[in-house]
Amino acid sequence: MIDYAAFEKIDIRVGRILEAADFPQARKPAYKLRIDFGPEIGIRQSSAQITAHYTKESLPGTLVLAVVNFPPRQIGPFMSEVLTLGIADEAGDIVLIRPETAVPLGHRMF
């Protein structure tokens, strides 16, 4: 178990997907996302294995939650700067965690 102080070190923020593009070089089907986290954090990119439930055309404008304080991770030729959060369904396909109501970009999850 971790204590609350350890949990507070994980910086989870809300962002809006600006673009989703195919990522054919990924080992598993994935999209390359550009996500706007507001003026404090700015626009970051992420690789997300969410192709089973989402088309790249349906994603722009979607609010998502992401960990913004992990170090960037090289995924093939792409540098993923944030970890977009999701939950696996029964088949193991990822479903995005997202706010139901509009909230300001960049606000932190508590």
Q: Is residue 12 part of a domain?
A: yes
Q: Is residue 108 part of a domain?
A: no
Closest CA to 64 of 94, 8, 105: 105
pLDDT of residue 7: 93
pLDDT of residue 110: 84
Q: Is residue 65 part of a domain?
A: yes
pLDDT of residue 108: 97
21 in Cβ contact with 32 (< 8 Å): yes
Handedness of CA 59, 60, 62, 68 (dihedral sign): positive
Domain count for the chain, please give it: 1
Q: Is residue 60 part of a domain?
A: yes
Q: Is residue 80 part of a domain?
A: yes
**DSSP single-letter state for residue 41:** T
The enclosing domain of 12 has a CATH number of: 2.40.50.140
Closest CA to 74 of 26, 29, 12, 11: 26
Q: Is residue 106 part of a domain?
A: no
pTM of the predicted model, to two decimals?
Answer: 0.95
Blockwise average pLDDT, block size 10, the chain, 110 residues: 94 98 96 98 98 98 98 96 98 97 95
Q: Is residue 105 part of a domain?
A: no
pLDDT of residue 103: 96
